């Protein structure tokens, strides 16, 4: 089996690569590439994302044919697809970081700045926070509710379809931190930085 981590020059993804390799233990081929043919032929795809919504969308669009390939893999071929941090946010129709930017439009909704209640909540939201699992999700198999995950973000994904939400956190408000829609999964937190529980989530995705 091949799991492809999409490398589209969106910041440092070495911790994502390392954690997937640690879970795969050499039994599963982890490919890190922007090669369209390799992405199309892979069994599962991971889209990491660091930096701003706009910078990540621009980086995707800078590689000719990449967005079309991702659409084909996730929407047409229904292969398991995992977005991490901004990788999840880009599933939205639109983002408002830096400037209004069109997302992939896979899950209707928007990405807006977290309301810090006039400075009461620090932004970016950095560190460990406990998640509230609100619906059964394949990537949460064997994960306890109220588990702690690691976050670094100032913007939140607000989906129109509330039934896609699999987990939330309490930070200023009820913030979506995980989604599942058919073959599409995403976490606002960083499983690759969330210790053994994060590795368990990665393992669950690999073993779908």
Known catalytic residues are 85, 190, 192
Classify burial at 25, counting beta carbons within 10 Å of its beta carbon; exposed 0-12, middle 13-18, buried 19 or more: exposed
CB 153 within 8 A of CB 176: no
User: Which class for 94: exposed (0-12), middle (13-18), buried (19 or more C-beta within 10 A)?
Assistant: middle
DSSP 3-35: EEEE--S-S--HHHHHHHHHHHTTSSEEEEE--
Residue 156: alpha-carbon gap to chain centroid: 12
User: What residues contact residue 146 under an 8 Å CB cut-off, 6+ apart?
Assistant: 130, 131, 132
């Amino acid at each position: 089996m091949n799991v492809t981590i999409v490398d589209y020059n969106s910041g440092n993804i070495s911790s994502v690569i390392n954690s997937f390799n640690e879970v795969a233990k050499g039994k599963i081929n982890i490919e890190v590439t922007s090669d369209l043919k390799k992405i199309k032929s892979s069994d599962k795809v991971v889209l990491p994302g660091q930096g701003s919504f706009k910078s990540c969308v621009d980086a995707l669009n800078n590689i000719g044919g990449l967005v079309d390939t991702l659409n084909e893999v996730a929407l047409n071929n229904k292969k398991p697809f995992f977005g991490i941090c901004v990788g999840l946010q880009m599933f939205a129709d639109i983002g408002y970081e830096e400037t209004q930017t069109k997302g992939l439009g896979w899950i209707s909704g928007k990405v807006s700045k977290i309301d810090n209640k006039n400075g009461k909540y620090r932004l970016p939201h950095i560190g460990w926070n406990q998640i509230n699992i609100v619906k059964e999700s394949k990537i949460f198999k064997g994960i306890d509710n109220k588990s702690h995950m690691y976050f670094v973000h100032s913007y939140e994904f607000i989906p129109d379809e509330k039934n896609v939400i699999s987990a939330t956190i309490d930070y200023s408000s009820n913030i979506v931190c995980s989604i599942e829609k058919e073959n599409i999964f995403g976490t606002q937190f960083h499983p690759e930085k969330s210790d053994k529980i994060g590795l368990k989530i990665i393992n669950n995705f690999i073993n779908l």
